[in-house]
Structure 1
């Protein structure tokens, strides 16, 4: 008895569950909605991942449509009284989200929900790096692309996530014992697969670069050693040679030579003194007397 009741409710409400659909960016997408007999109201309710909620409505009794907060790229595909399908023109990442169609008819209410996923095909680029290895890039894809090589490689892809939700995948082909690498990069993506081939020759720039680096290091070491050598010798304190030690003893002749100037000086002073004394005495004697000689 309970099972019969549940089936009746499901038939009346028209629950169909969620439907996952995808659309490639830049294309158009159409979401269908079943038109029932004696339909009185059709409503599309749109909840994008980014942006605001919007609705499209149609009332059969007034033969009138209305829209709330929906962009011009989202609209009825045909006349809603004939086909209530929804069309999204120039699909973009902003259109990703949930779309629900609700139909009110005399036989019951029906609704269908779509979860729209927007696919962004990556841009495939292939080039050779400085070491002569092929590098494959699947730029700005959504979801992330899968990269493989036609030859066996030890490459581990790396991913870079962008602000708009797209992802760039980079893979470098590494193979041992091959001088010339001619290989094909294969990019697998829900929006379509791509492939490119390239032939890379091992570059001699790496060898020359290593030699140049080694020579520069040796030159710097040599130059530094020379500077340190000259700096070490120039900073040594300069010391004057000490005068040779002389014997402190001296002969009596040296004393005589040192005393003679003084003796001569004293003798001259005495002569001057005696002359002055004689002159003074002569001037002070009484008249008629002369100093004794």
Structure 2
């Protein structure tokens, strides 16, 4: 009896340990947009295989297989989730184009002659943040990791103090803003490096910032560049105006006015002169005839 009791106790302890091992959640991170395969321990002569999926967003879904009917079914599962292979010999689950909505708990349940086994995964979706580095109005280097999941960590390679601010978004992402302040605020901050640490990948950027009042050289360079631009612009305008004036001088000369010769005047007056001369000849002839014959002029025939 004592031996049987000890054997029973050992069997129960082993069973509890096995159940605890199989029921332990496995955390699986995956970067958004990628695909992933969740394994389910294949067993010989399985009778049923069921994937139970509980996403954080939306309702649960299930994928099932029954060996006696050689049939699969799905309930409320999107097309992005399906069996990777044939569930009768490898019941792995494949998720394509992982999105934030896929985050949640995934449990595979296998029943067969050897017992009942489960594999549980906690799927976490990683969103790599967008890193930007710039100088604020006071000349402080500012590093921003936009919309990351989880929140990124920001470090500064140079010696100084930094302050950080976090901003959460509806889809679960977080933006981290970190400002760097050097121990001395009167000098230019050259090659200041921001380092971003994130599970989806690390990044770094460097920048030069100028404190207010110490950027006279930059202002002078801007003024000189502006003046040079104005001078060049005026020179171009003058050049094209000068070319336009030269084109005007090269135009064809106006047509010469027609000369009025004395011969033309003579030709115009000649008919009239001839007419007057003929009239005078006729008049003189009549006068001579009148005088010679003493005929009153009033009785002369009309000429």
- Within 2, Cα distance between the matches of 1:13 and 1:194? 39
TM-score (norm 2): 0.64
Please state how far the C-alpha of 1:93 moved relative to its aligned partner.
Answer: 1.0
Give the deviation of 1:14 after TM superposition: 7.6
Matches within 5 A, 1:109-128: 109-128=116-135
Other-structure match for 1:192: 201
SS of structure 1 residue aligned to 2:11: helix
Give the C-alpha shift of residue 82 in structure 1.
Answer: 2.6
User: Conserved in 2, the CA contact under 8 Å of 1:13 and 1:109?
Assistant: no
Aligned to 1:153: 160
| 1:165 equivalenced with 2:167 (yes/no) | no
Superposed CA deviations along residues 117-169 of structure 1, whole A, max 9, x for unmatched, are: 11111110111111211110001111111000101221121100111111000
**TM-aligned CA deviation for residue 204 of structure 1:** 4.1
Query: What is the alpha-carbon distance in structure 1 between the residues aligned to residue 60 and residue 183 of structure 2?
Result: 56
**Contact 2:152–2:198 under 8 Å retained in 1:** yes
CA distance in 2, matches of 1:12, 1:94: 29
- Let me know the Cα RMSD of the aligned residues: 2.1
Q: Secondary structure at the match of 1:124?
A: strand
CA contact 2:187–2:214 (8 Å) conserved in 1:
no
Shift of 1:9: 5.8
Instruction: Write 1 or 2 for the structure with the bigger share of helix.
Output: 2
Count residues in correspondence: 207
SS in 1 for 2:181: coil
- TM normalised by structure 1 equals 0.67
Helix, strand or coil for the counterpart of 1:42? Answer: strand
Select 1:97's aligned residue among 81, 98, 104.
104
Q: Secondary structure at the match of 1:4?
A: helix
Q: Is the 8 A contact 2:24 2:119 kept in 1?
A: yes
Cα distance, 1:6 vs structure 2: 2.9
| Contiguous gaps of at least 5 residues in structure 1 | 208-293
Structural mapping, 1:2-151, within 5 Å? 2-8=9-15, 15-151=22-158
User: Structure 1's 12 and 139: CA in aligned 2 closer, same or farther, altered over 3 A?
Assistant: closer
Say which SS state the counterpart of residue 20 (structure 1) adopts. Answer: strand
Contact kept, 8 Å, 1:131 with 1:206, in 2: the verdict is: no
